[in-house]
């Protein structure tokens, strides 16, 4: 069973979100990187860009496939993990740590409550991830 940290929230599309004060850090889950296989390219928005909950904010590519990334919450991008440009494999090696993708300053607090809890996300992946 893939690692699903209890202190994070999740999307149905396999992104995680971590509350860090007023900001939210975003990445993809251990389950997602396992399913993707070797990540070879990550395309992320620039600092200052706006992202919208449940809308595409970027792309992650494995050797075999291209997958869209979906924002857990709406807001402004305040940090982007530039390291992933040179070392996309970090997403496989440390999905909840050094493999983070964005930090967002949320525009709405209500959206946070719509995200899946760790338990709900575990149930989702137990059913095959869809």
Partner 1 sequence: MSTPLKRTPLYAEHVAAGARMVPFGGWEMPVQYTGIIEEHRATRGAVGLFDVSHMGEFEVEGPGALAALQHLTTNDAAALEVGQIQYSVLCYPNGTIVDDLTVYRMGDTRYMITVNAGNIDKDWAHVTTSTAHIKDARWRNASEGTGLIAVQGPKAEALVGRLAECDVTAIGYYRFARGNVGEVPTVISRTGYTGEDGFELYAPADGTAQLWKALRAAGRADGVTPVGLGARDTLRLEMKYALYGNDIDDTTNALEAGLGWVVKPAKGEFIGREALEKVRAEGVRRRLVGIEMVEKAVARHGYPVRKDGRPVGIVTSGSYGPSVDKYIGIAYVETALAAIGSAVEIEIRGQGKGAQVARTPFYPPKVKKAG
As measured in angstroms, the least distance from the Cβ of 68 to partner 1 is 10
Interacting residue with partner 1 among 3, 37, 47, 117 (CB under 8 A): 37
Span from 34-42, 47-55, 107-115, 119-127 in contact with partner 1 (CB under 8 A): 34-42
Interacting residue with partner 1 among 47, 66, 110, 126 (CB under 8 A): 66
What's phi and psi for 15, nearest 5 deg? Answer: -95, 155
- Give the separation between CA 21 and CA 46, rounded to whole angstroms: 21
Q: How many CA atoms lie within 13 A of 64 on its CB side?
A: 6
Cα 34 to Cα 9, 39, 51, 75, 106: the distances in Å are 19, 10, 25, 28, 28
Told to check if 93 binds partner 1 by CB under 8 A, we report no
State the residues that interact with partner 1 by CB under 8 A: 37-38, 40-41, 43, 59, 61-64, 66, 85
């Amino acid at each position: 069973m893939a690692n699903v940290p209890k202190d994070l929230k999740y999307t149905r599309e396999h992104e995680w979100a971590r509350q860090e004060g007023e900001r939210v850090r975003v990445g993809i889950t251990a389950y997602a990187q396992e399913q993707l296989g070797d990540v070879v390219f990550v395309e992320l928005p620039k600092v200052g860009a706006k992202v919208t909950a449940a809308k595409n904010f970027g792309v992650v590519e494995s050797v075999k496939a291209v997958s869209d990334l979906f924002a857990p919450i709406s807001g402004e991008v305040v940090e982007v993990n530039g390291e992933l440009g040179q070392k996309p494999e970090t997403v496989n090696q440390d999905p909840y740590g050094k493999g983070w993708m964005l930090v967002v300053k949320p525009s709405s607090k209500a959206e946070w409550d719509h995200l899946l809890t760790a338990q709900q996300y575990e149930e989702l992946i137990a059913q095959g991830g869809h």
